[in-house]
Structure formats: C-alpha cells, structure tokens
C-alpha cells in the first residue's frame, strides 16, 4: 500500500463495554483522507459511543484506533483534538453569555494543534468559518437569539474553527425540516470541499445518499454492512434491522 492510499483513520476490533454489555463490539473499518463516510443504524446501535471512542471521551475495552498510522487509544480528548480530529455533539451547548462570533473563536483558541493562537487570529478564523456555515450575518448576535438550526450551524462552526483534518458530525440534521436539511447538506459539502475528511452519524437517509461516498451500518454494536450508500440501503439485512419495509418500498418505487 502506497503512502497516498494509507488510511487516515483506522479502527481495529474496537470494543467498549458498559457494565459488561458491549455497546461497541469488535468494530473494524478505515477512513481515507478526503473521504466522507456515513454511519447509520437503529437507536442504541453504538454510533455515538463509537465517536466518543474516536475522540477520546471513552477509553477502549479492546482493539485499537490509529490516526495516520499511530495509535491514539487512551489519548486524552484535548490531545486527540490537537491532532486534528474535531467533532460536534448531539446536544448543542454553546456558551450562552457569548456572541456567535465569540463562540466560534473558542474553537480556534483552544481546540487545534495551534492552540496558542492570539485572539485576533482566532476571531479571523471565526469570521471565516461563520461565512462558511452561513452564520456571518449573525456573528454579533447573542447565542440566546439563535434558532435550533442556527445553533447546529454554530456547533459545526466551532468544530471547524479548530482547523480539523477529520470532522466527526453527530446527527447535525436531527429536528430539521426539509429546507433546513438542504441548507445543512450544502454546509457539509462546503466544509468537505475545504479538504476536511468527514465521518458523520445520521438518521436522514437523504443525507447519506446525498453526500456520503460510503455508508457503515451498525447494529447491536457491530458492523452489519458497509459499502456504497445505494447498495447498503438495499441490503435486506439493513432493511430488516433498521430501515423497515416501508422505506424499502419507497426505494423500489
């Protein structure tokens, strides 16, 4: 395998248990630099737990996670972030006393490999990412005035401000209507177009089909299927475990 084709992120038999129950059970897959990969599966399948393992919030009970060929298993979250792995969270918790611009600048100041940036540079980066995610016009607004979709955009902006090489997105489309989903899709495409590798969790299949080059299906903490989205979403095992017959009929119509 040449240097150009080596995976950026490798998961090897990754296992995480809670009280003896495996939430993630022997998960193995790779993500190449510049790829955009979707993780899908039913609630409780281990998707968010897996992102928590990658970002260092959880310590593994088995297996290994490698970044650019070196193990990051057991590494503290702030050290993982400084390697260039940024992420969002399902529950958005911005700093309520700050403006939108100040929230974005926090990511630039404290999350990246260049964490000792000066405030002026951090705010310049904040302005760039707010333009990228469509929040530039609201940069000076208090966070308390933002709608739910805009708070999700801000969560992405704060993660992108860390200047990540890999961005982990955890259900950034949850609760959005169709117009808002289209806007969020455009935002993800723009972020990916800057050269950022993206690994995202999503329940909205339009997102998986619309932006992902590959889909990984988790069920009971294990990889049930993996491949191109169009192929994976027609897999009978995936339909039975997750999508349901109603969705399968829509695919065939």
Determine the average pLDDT of the residues in 162-177. 90
What band does 123 get if pLDDT is binned at 50, 70 and 90?
Answer: very high
Interhelix angle 148-160/119-133, rounded to 10 degrees, is 130
Structural domain boundaries in the chain: 3-84+164-252, 92-163
Report the CATH fold assignment for 3-84+164-252.
Rossmann fold (3.40.50)
Q: Are strands 9-18 and 21-31 parallel, antiparallel or unpaired?
A: antiparallel
Residue 253 has pLDDT above 80, yes or no: no
Residue 3 has pLDDT above 50, yes or no: no
Contact 47, 201 (CB under 8 A): yes
Whether this prediction's pTM lies above 0.75 is answered by: yes
What band does 95 get if pLDDT is binned at 50, 70 and 90?
Answer: confident
The mean-pLDDT minimum among 70-84, 172-186, 198-212, 239-253 falls in 239-253
Question: What is the C-alpha to C-alpha distance for residues 76 and 30, in angstroms, rounded to an integer?
Answer: 21
pLDDT in tens, 26-54: 999 999 999 999 999 999 999 999 999 99
Contact 135, 154 (CB under 8 A): yes
What band does 116 get if pLDDT is binned at 50, 70 and 90?
Answer: low
Question: What is the C-alpha to C-alpha distance for residues 65 and 176, in angstroms, rounded to an integer?
Answer: 32
What band does 110 get if pLDDT is binned at 50, 70 and 90?
Answer: confident
Local structure of residue 3 (DSSP, 8 states): G
Residue 97 has pLDDT above 50, yes or no: yes
Note the pLDDT of residue 61: 97
More confident residue, 103 or 247: 103
What band does 140 get if pLDDT is binned at 50, 70 and 90?
Answer: very high
Query: Which two tokens mark 206?
Result: 């339009």
Determine the average pLDDT of the residues in 134-142. 95
Give the Å distances, CA to CA, from 133 to 127, 175, 183, 208, 219: 10, 18, 9, 19, 32
Determine the average pLDDT of the residues in 82-87. 91
Distance of CA 251 to the CA centre of its chain: 26
Note the pLDDT of residue 113: 61
What band does 5 get if pLDDT is binned at 50, 70 and 90?
Answer: low
Q: Is 113 helix (H, G, I), strand (E, B) or coil?
A: coil
């Amino acid at each position: 395998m040449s240097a150009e084709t080596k995976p950026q992120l490798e998961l090897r038999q990754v296992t995480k248990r809670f009280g003896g129950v495996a939430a993630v059970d022997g998960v193995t897959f790779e993500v190449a630099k510049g790829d955009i990969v979707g993780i899908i599966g039913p609630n409780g399948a281990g998707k968010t737990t897996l992102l928590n393992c990658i970002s260092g919030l959880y310590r593994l009970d088995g297996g290994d996670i490698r970044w650019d060929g070196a193990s990051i298993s057991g590494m503290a979250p702030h050290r993982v972030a400084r390697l260039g792995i940024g992420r969002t969270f399902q529950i958005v918790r911005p700093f309520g006393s700050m403006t939108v611009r100040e929230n974005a600048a926090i990511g630039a100041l404290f999350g990246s490999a260049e964490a000792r940036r000066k405030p002026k540079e951090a705010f310049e980066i904040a302005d760039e990412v707010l333009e990228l995610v469509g929040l530039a016009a609201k940069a000076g607004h208090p966070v308390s005035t933002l709608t739910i979709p805009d708070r999700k955009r801000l969560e992405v902006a704060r993660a992108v401000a860390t200047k990540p090489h890999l961005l982990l997105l955890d259900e950034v489309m949850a609760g959005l209507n169709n117009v808002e989903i289209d806007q969020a899709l455009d935002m993800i495409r723009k972020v990916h177009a800057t050269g950022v590798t993206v690994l995202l969790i999503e329940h909205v299949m339009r997102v998986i089909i619309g932006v992902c080059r590959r889909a990984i299906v988790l069920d009971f903490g294990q990889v049930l299927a993996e491949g191109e989205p169009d192929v994976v979403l027609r897999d009978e095992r995936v339909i039975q475990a997750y999508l349901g017959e109603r969705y399968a009929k829509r695919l065939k119509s």
